[in-house]
Each structure stands twice: as C-alpha cells, then as structure tokens.
Amino acid sequence: MDTTNTLVPIGQSDNAQEPGRLPVQAAERARQERRQSRRLLLQGVGVLAASAAATVALSPGRAGASPQRQAGDAVPAMRTIRFRPQARSDAAAGKPALPSLAVIALNRMGFGPRPGDIDAFKALGSTDSERLTAYVDQQLDPASIDDSACDAIIASYNFQTLDKSQAQLWADHIKSDEAKDWRYRRLPVWETERVAFVRLLHSKRQLVEVLADFWHNHFNVYGWDSWIQSTFVHYDRDVIRGNLLGNFRKMLGDVARSPAMLYYLDNQSNSGGNPNENYARELFELHGLGAENYFGVRKTTDPEIVDENGDRKGYIDSDVYGATTCFTGWRIDGDTGLFHFDAASHFPYTKVVMGQIIEDFLGEDDGNIVLDLLANHPGTARYICRKLCRRLVSDNPPESLVQATADLFHANREAPDQLAQVVRMILLSEEFHTTWGDKIRRPFEFAGALLRATQCNYDPTLDNFFWWYGAMGQSLFSWHPPNGYPDTAADWSSTMPILQRWRFVNDILEWKIGGDGEDKNDKRIVVDGVMPEDVATPEAIVDFWSRRLLGYLLPTAERTEIVEFMAFGRGTDSDLPPDQIAERLRYMIALILMSPSFQWR
C-alpha cells in the first residue's frame, strides 16, 4: 500500500521521523508547539474533571470492566466511572434533559447530526409526529435516498474488492498466486472496515449503517481470520446488508451458508463421523432463540419445557446435538468458494430437534428444517426484538414494547419486509421518542458522531486514525467470541474506555497530514472560519459550538466549567481577543466532545 501520506502520530519521537526532514530550528519550533498544545489540553482536561464531578460517580464493581476482556477471563477489582445524568427539565431524577426529537432521531437512527441535519429534519413536517414518521419511512426505503455523493467519495479511493462476487473473492484472494501475500488475502476485510467509516460519515442512509452494525454484532464472526478475511466483502454486502430490512429466516439461511460463518464456527468440518456442535449451539444460543429460552439439560418428556398447547417453550441440550447432525455436510466448495452440500459427510439417520422427528433421507433440508423451527418460534421473536429495542431505545427496554414488536415479528415471519416492519414499530413507538440518556455511545458510534459533528476531513487509507480508534476497544469485525461486542452502558463506561475516548479526541483534534512540517496547519478537523466573527464572548463561543456539535445547549454544570476555560480569567460575557480565541478554541471543542452530554444517545 502507498504510504507516502501516512500520518505521524502526535507526540512521536523525533528520532523516529525521516532523517533530515526538518531543519533543526523548525524541529525545535514544532516541539515547542506540541508542548504548548499539551499544556492547553491538560488545562482543559482539568476543567473537564471538575465539571464531571457533578455528572460522574466512581464506584467499585465488575459491571464496567473493559469490553476487551474475553469470555471466561477473571475480572479484576477496579473502580468504574459512571455517568450520572443531569436532571430532566421535568425533574425526573437520574435522567438528562430530553432533547428535541430531531436530536433523538438523528442519534439513534444514525451516528449523530452533521451541521444542517437538524434543520432538514424539522422541514419534514409541521409536527414532531409528522417529521418522525416521514424520516423513518425515508430511512426504511434507502433506495429512494440519493446517496450519489457518498458513492462518489467511495469511488474516489479506488477500492479493489467491494464489487467482487463471492466466487471472484475466492478466486482472487484465496486461490490465486497473489493470495500468497497475506496483505492481499486480507484486502477484502481491510476495505470493508475502511469503507464502513466512509459510509458512517457521508452516507445519507444512516439507518442502514446502524442496522448493519447491529446485525454484524448479532451474527458476529472474527473478520480477520485467515479463511474469513478473503470473502468478507460478500458477508458484509450480500449477507448482512442484503437482508437487514428483509426477512429474518432468509438472513438466517444466508448466514448459515456463508463462508464466514461456516469457517468461523467450524461447520465446514462438521460431519456425520466427526460432529462439531459449535455452529448449532451458537445458532440456538445467539442467533435464534437466545440463552433466555434455554432450559438446560432436560429430558424431552419434561413437562416444564412445553406450554399448554404442547409446543416447546425453548430448547434443551439434546436439541443442540440433534441440530448438529442436521447440519453435517454443509460446506464451502474449495474450488469455487460457493456453498454446496456434501452428502457423503452428512449424518444419514433420523434426528430429533425441538420435539420434531426429522427423517433420514432429507439431506440438506435437515438443516433447513432446523432454521425454520427457530425462525418461526415465538421465543426467537422476543429475543431478536429485545435486542433491537435495546439497540434503538434503551439498555433495559420496556417488556411491553418488546412483546408488541415480537408479536409483529412473529405474525409477519414470512413477509419479505418483516424486519423493516419491526424496526418501524420500534422507531415510531412512544418509548423511542421519550427516552434519552439510557444508552451511551459505543466507540464506533462515538467516533462516528465526532466525525460527523466536526465534518472531519477523513481519509480511510491513512492508518493513524485506526490506531487511535482501536484503543477505544471496538475495532470493527475484531471481536473474537461469537456473542459480538456488548451493547449496554455498563460495558463501555468504565475508567479505561472513557480515558481512551479522551485520548481519541486529543489525537483527532491534533490530526495533521504528514506530522510536523510545512503542512502542519492542515488539520483534519477544520475550525478556522466556521464561527461567525461576532461570536467572541466565552459564553457565546461555547453555546455556538455546543449547538453545532450536540444540537442543543450544554447543561449548566458542563457549560459553566467550559466557559471558564475559554475565558481564562477574563469575563465570561466580554469579547475575547482574537489570539486567545485562536489559542484555546480547538481545546474547548475537545472538551465538548469529551463531555458527558456528547456520550448520550
């Protein structure tokens, strides 16, 4: 890959830079500028810490352990940081004030507003109900949204793999001579990761991007695995994005037949003589019924596992074993990279799954029957809808909303737009537009909101951004266990994830092309010239940027400390000299981006 424009991280040792790159005097000036920048930022962090005293509480416990730990790891004793929201305007304890519906919709159905998005939302109708309905229906019909500007930006980077078919990906990145180079083998997943951030920043089809992230986590695979990385474009484009507003049963089948899932959960090696239950177990526990419908080790005759109609309430271990044999012989053809059924590897005898006897002569359809059983089960409807409500509304969604959407999911289980109907019900629910501060942004959402709010001049081919982003703990397609990245505030609000967010903001605000040199003032985030000249008092400056970055004014506790940082001993309602504004503005913006308010969604 061409690295001529690769960024040099701020603070990197001068000895690591290209020899002779800067004259001695210029290098010394650059070091002095970096020291001054750090001093200003440390002042700002001190201000933020003081402001956070009213909004952040420290408490011991494991709930906030870093999400990077793996299942089964010991959880060390630690102190975790908790956001304590500001009081609502209606005095509801423990919640931040409810912002406008535009702010709620653009943060939950997307990755936050860009400048101008809130006004565009308000123009969709004369009432909040009209505006929300219009926006939801628009987002649920992505083909009707002109996204040519985003497409043109993607095309400008000349990605090589995004349009390749499944067979082309296999031929080029697994079977060809070029595939002996591991960098070429992993190019599909590398480009999928990079273009995800381009779409997050530029696409007008924001709901598609939110749901793509959701379903990638639901059907999680470790995308950088040697067999998965080479066809990952197919998994993202055809399997996840191709089904996210469609039918769940079809999505379930496409996932089961994808190279990504067949290799990730070892069904590629599942055979009648050597069964491997990895895929079958996760199919029940994570993809379909969910652990909430698991009854453990029971006899199939146990009356507690059936309802009053004699139907199974959930699954037991013997169902996993039966399903394992049903999926024997499901394979990827080593020559073409396409799915095929290997009858010679199939378990050829009778199976029993969820109380249903599956005859020994059905072959590939044995697995299809299992997928049908799961997709049609009411427990699957509740499990999937609870996860969708958790993603789109709150960490602990009301059971009434979960059940209402589950009923719709189950009633429309054969509809081609089943998932779109379910998402629409959630987004138009009262719970959606009356809830705020029950979720915080995960790192992917936080990075997206920052890029969009600041209109960052982002180039996905440069690596520095991904070094900084990865430290926050949610590198794309990189979660090893099959359960996907966690989705509650407790998992992302401990000390280290929050500290890494602060570091990320610092790095992004100081992001320069080529490090120090003649282009040292070429910032990826443009600040100069954005604010009107008549905005000159600390209060006016903070209010201007909080509206621009958040869509509303900061709450008093956060606003006061940031205003005082900007004033730096001067009056908060007196005009500041231009040199003080220029010196402190970028760091004041960083404080808003690091504030508790910028974390809510």
The two three-digit tokens of residue 501, written as one number: 């967010």
CA distance 257 to 251: 10
CA distance 549 to 586: 13
- The mean per-residue pLDDT over the stretch 188-210 comes to 98
pLDDT at position 510: 81
- The mean per-residue pLDDT over the stretch 408-424 comes to 98
Cα Rg, the chain, nearest whole Å = 26
Please identify, among 213, 246, 279, the residue that sits at the C-terminal boundary of a domain: 246
In the chain, what's the furthest Cα-to-Cα distance?
Answer: 84
- The mean per-residue pLDDT over the stretch 215-219 comes to 98
Same domain, 199 and 235: yes
Same domain, 405 and 452: no
Q: How do residues 567-591 score in pLDDT, each as one tens digit?
A: 998 889 999 999 999 999 999 999 9
Q: How do residues 162-180 score in pLDDT, each as one tens digit?
A: 999 999 999 999 999 999 9
Q: Look at phi and psi of residue 11 and say left if phi exceeds 0, alpha if psi is from -120 to 50, else beta.
A: left
Residue 556 lies in a domain: yes
Please identify, among 194, 223, 246, the residue that sits at the C-terminal boundary of a domain: 246
Q: What is the DSSP string of 543-583?
A: HHHHHHHHSSPPPHHHHHHHHHHHHTTS-TTSPPPHHHHHH
Q: Is the pLDDT of residue 10 over 70?
A: no
The residue among 510, 503, 464, 502 whose CA lies nearest residue 34 is 510
Q: Answer for the pair 208, 476: CB distance below 8 angstroms, yes or no.
A: no
Residue 372 lies in a domain: no
Same domain, 465 and 421: no
Same domain, 198 and 165: yes
- Across-strand partners of 274? 271
pLDDT at position 44: 58
Same domain, 163 and 90: no
Q: Is the pLDDT of residue 323 over 60?
A: yes
Q: Answer for the pair 201, 150: CB distance below 8 angstroms, yes or no.
A: no
Q: Is the pLDDT of residue 34 over 70?
A: no
Print the SS3 string covering 175-192: HCCHHHCHHHHCHHHHHH
Q: Is the pLDDT of residue 32 over 80?
A: no
Q: Which of 50-64, 85-99, 398-412 is the most confident on average?
A: 398-412
Lowest mean pLDDT of 71-85, 334-348, 435-449, 509-523, name the range: 71-85
Q: Is the pLDDT of residue 7 over 50?
A: no
pLDDT at position 36: 54
CA distance 259 to 221: 11
The two three-digit tokens of residue 244, written as one number: 């996210």
Same domain, 148 and 189: yes
Band of pLDDT at residue 81, cut at 50, 70 and 90 = very low
Same domain, 125 and 218: no
Residue 340 lies in a domain: no
pLDDT at position 401: 98
Band of pLDDT at residue 457, cut at 50, 70 and 90 = confident
Range of the domain at 18: 14-50+525-599
Q: Is the pLDDT of residue 59 over 80?
A: no
Same domain, 158 and 238: yes
- The mean per-residue pLDDT over the stretch 343-349 comes to 94
Q: How do residues 110-139 score in pLDDT, each as one tens digit?
A: 999 999 999 999 999 999 999 999 999 999
pLDDT at position 182: 92
Same domain, 232 and 151: yes
Q: What is the pTM of this model?
A: 0.86
Residue 517 lies in a domain: no
pLDDT at position 520: 46
**Can you say how many angstroms the Cα of residue 374 is from the centroid of all Cα atoms in its chain?**
26
The residue among 570, 571, 565 whose CA lies nearest residue 588 is 565
Query: Which secondary structure element, helix H or strand E, spans residue 3, and what is its range?
Result: none
Q: Is the pLDDT of residue 102 over 90?
A: yes
pLDDT at position 591: 96
Between these two residues, 302 and 409, which has the higher pLDDT value? 409
pLDDT at position 375: 98
What integer best gives the mean pLDDT of the chain? 86
Q: How do residues 497-535 score in pLDDT, each as one tens digit?
A: 899 999 999 988 887 654 444 444 556 788 888 999 999
Residue 304 lies in a domain: no
Same domain, 478 and 537: no
Please identify, among 433, 453, 474, the residue that sits at the C-terminal boundary of a domain: 433
pLDDT over 70, % of the chain: 82
Same domain, 23 and 66: no
- The mean per-residue pLDDT over the stretch 470-495 comes to 95
The residue among 389, 436, 404 whose CA lies nearest residue 106 is 436
Query: Which secondary structure element, helix H or strand E, spans residue 438, and what is its range?
Result: none
Residues near 58 by beta carbon (within 8 Å), at least 6 away in sequence: 79, 80, 81, 82
Residue 281 lies in a domain: no
- Across-strand partners of 353? 356
Residue 222 lies in a domain: yes
The two three-digit tokens of residue 159, written as one number: 């990605």
pLDDT at position 522: 57
Return the DSSP state at 20. T
The residue among 225, 222, 279 whose CA lies nearest residue 252 is 279
600 three-class SS:
strand
Q: What is the DSSP string of 327-343?
A: TTTEEE-TTT--EEE-G
pLDDT at position 406: 98
> Looking at the 3D structure of the chain, how many domains does it have?
4
Band of pLDDT at residue 300, cut at 50, 70 and 90 = confident
Query: Which secondary structure element, helix H or strand E, spans residue 356, and what is its range?
Result: strand 356-358
Band of pLDDT at residue 462, cut at 50, 70 and 90 = confident
Q: Is the pLDDT of residue 161 over 90?
A: yes
pLDDT at position 463: 87
Q: Answer for the pair 139, 207: CB distance below 8 angstroms, yes or no.
A: yes
Residue 325 lies in a domain: no
Band of pLDDT at residue 76, cut at 50, 70 and 90 = very low
Residue 322's Cβ-count burial label (10 Å; 0-12, 13-18, 19+) is buried
Same domain, 233 and 152: yes
